[in-house]
Amino acid sequence: MNFHHSLYTLIVVTIGVLAHANTSWAGDWDVAGQASLELRYFPYTAVHANQRNITVSPSGTIEPELVYEWNGGRDRFTLTPFARFDTDDHRRTHADLREVNWLHVGSDWDLLIGIGKVFWGVTESVHLVDIVNQTDAVEDISGEKKLGQPMINFTIEKQWGVFNVIALPGFRTRTFTSDSARLHGPLPVDWSNETYESSRGQRHIDWAVRWSRSFGDIDIAISHFQGTSREALLTLHNRGGVPVIVPHYSQIGQTGFELQWTTENTLWKAEAMSRSGHGKRFYATASGFEHTLYDVGESGVDVGLLMEYLSDNRDVRFAPASGADNDMFAGARFVLNDTQDTSALVGGIYDLQNHAVFVNLEAERRITDHLKVEINARFFVNVPDNDLFALIRSDDYVEMKLNCFF
C-alpha cells in the first residue's frame, strides 16, 4: 500500500501550509462532505467456487472535505479523506486520501502540491486518455472512481494554449475485490505481492504532460504519460499447487489525443491513444457524438442521444485486457429539469464481433437539500467465454444509494 507516501505528503503539505499561512492567518475554513448508504442486489447465483453467494450486500461511505483558503483565495489547502465499510467484501472496505494538497493560483499559472486528482478526456463511454490517477476499481466497475495520487502539478496558460506538467512520485496499485466477493473471477488475486517492471517499483517517478487549446468551437489536447501503467497485467502464478493471479505493472509510454467540436445541439467528440510497453505499440480510439433535443414536446424534458465507436488493437497476450476492442456504444440521457434535478442515463456497449452487450443504467433524484437517491444497474448480456466480462457475467447487479450531503 501507499499509505506511507500519503502520510508523508500529508505531513509535508500541512507543514508547508501552516508555515505559509502563518503570515496571514485570516483565511476561511469550509467543511463539507458526503456520506452514503448503499445496497447492492445480485439477482443471479454466484458461479465461481471461491465466491460466496451474496444476494443483497449493504455498505456505506464517508467522504468529508475540509478546505482552508487564504491570501484572498489565491492559496488553498484541501483535505478529503474517504472510507468505505462493506459488510461482505473486506477488500472493498478501504480508506484513501482522495485529496491532501496545497494549491496556489497565480496570474496565468497555478501549482498544486500533494495528493490530488486530474481528469483528462471528452468521451462518455470510456476514458482512454485519462491516466494520471489509478482507478479505485472496488468502488465501481465504471472506472470513474479514482485513488488519490501524489503529484506536483504545474499549469500555465498563454496565448498558445494551456500547458500542464505533472510529476508523479509514488505509484498507487489498483484495488481488487476480495476472492470471495461478487465481481471477482475464479482465481484468488495476490494483490499485495504485485510485481513491477521498474526496479524502483512503487517509488518510480512517473511524468505526464498535456497541451490543450481552443480554436473557436474546436478544443484539442495532446498529452503524454511516461511511467508505471495504471492497468495491471494479470499474471498466473503457482503458490504450492494453487494457481493465483499476481498483478504486474509494466513501464509504458502513452500518447493521448482529445478533440471536441461544439456545435449548436451536438457535441462531436474523439479520443485516441497510442501506447508502447505492452508488447507491440498499439492504438485505441473512441469517437462519436452527443446530440441534445431540448424541451421534447414542450414537456420541459431534455433528451440527449449518445453514440461512440470504440476500437483497440492491443495484443492481450502482452497487454492488460480491454473491454472495448471493436464496440459500439449507444445511450440516452434524460434530464427532467425539475426542482429535484431528476436525471437518468441508459446505455449499452455492444461488441461488434462477439455480440456481447454491457448495459448500464444510472438514475438520480434529489429528495431534500441534503439527500439524494441514486439507482444504478449493470447487466452483462450474451457474454461469450472469450470476452473480458465472461468472468463476472453472473455478477449483474442493481444498486440503490442514499447520499447525504453536509
Residues of this chain that bind another protein (CB under 8 A):
32, 34, 67, 69, 76, 103, 105, 107-108, 110, 117-119, 121, 144, 155, 157, 162, 212, 214, 219, 260, 262-267, 292, 294-295, 300, 302, 337-341, 366, 369-370, 372, 403, 405-406
Cα–Cα–Cα angle for 47, 52, 57, nearest 5°?
Answer: 110
Distance in Å, CB of 265 to another protein, minimum: 5
Distance in Å, CB of 264 to another protein, minimum: 4
**Rounded distance, CA 81 to CA 30, Å?**
15
Q: Which is nearer to another protein, 290 or 396 (CB)?
A: 290
Distance in Å, CB of 336 to another protein, minimum: 9
Distance in Å, CB of 403 to another protein, minimum: 7
Q: Which is nearer to another protein, 34 or 313 (CB)?
A: 34
Q: Which is nearer to another protein, 326 or 340 (CB)?
A: 340
Q: Which is nearer to another protein, 159 or 199 (CB)?
A: 159
Distance in Å, CB of 363 to another protein, minimum: 14
Distance in Å, CB of 3 to another protein, minimum: 22
The CA distances from residue 7 to 10, 111, 148, 387, in Å, are 5, 20, 12, 40
Q: Which is nearer to another protein, 69 or 197 (CB)?
A: 69
Distance in Å, CB of 162 to another protein, minimum: 4
**Rounded distance, CA 333 to CA 277, Å?**
37
Q: Which is nearer to another protein, 294 or 318 (CB)?
A: 294
**Rounded distance, CA 10 to CA 107, Å?**
26
Q: Cell numbers of 37, please?
A: 448508504
Task: State the amino acid at position 230 in one-letter form.
Answer: R
**Rounded distance, CA 202 to CA 260, Å?**
35
Contact between residue 114 and residue 99 where contact means Cβ atoms under 8 Å apart: yes
Distance in Å, CB of 180 to another protein, minimum: 30
Q: Which is nearer to another protein, 264 or 385 (CB)?
A: 264
Q: Which is nearer to another protein, 318 or 406 (CB)?
A: 406
Q: Which is nearer to another protein, 117 or 237 (CB)?
A: 117
- The torsion defined by the Cα of 306, 307, 313 and 319, in degrees rounded to 10, comes to 20
Q: Which is nearer to another protein, 53 or 299 (CB)?
A: 299
Count CB neighbours of 1 within 10 A: 12
Count CB neighbours of 322 within 10 A: 19
**Rounded distance, CA 126 to CA 330, Å?**
12
Distance in Å, CB of 210 to another protein, minimum: 10
Contact between residue 200 and residue 72 where contact means Cβ atoms under 8 Å apart: no
**Rounded distance, CA 358 to CA 249, Å?**
27
Contact between residue 145 and residue 84 where contact means Cβ atoms under 8 Å apart: no
**Rounded distance, CA 288 to CA 330, Å?**
10
Distance in Å, CB of 99 to another protein, minimum: 9
Q: Which is nearer to another protein, 157 or 197 (CB)?
A: 157
**Rounded distance, CA 298 to CA 337, Å?**
12
**Rounded distance, CA 368 to CA 319, Å?**
46
Distance in Å, CB of 297 to another protein, minimum: 14
Q: Which residues pair with 345 in a beta bridge?
A: 333, 362
The CA distances from residue 49 to 40, 76, 117, 177, 197, in Å, are 21, 50, 37, 15, 32
**Rounded distance, CA 127 to CA 121, Å?**
6
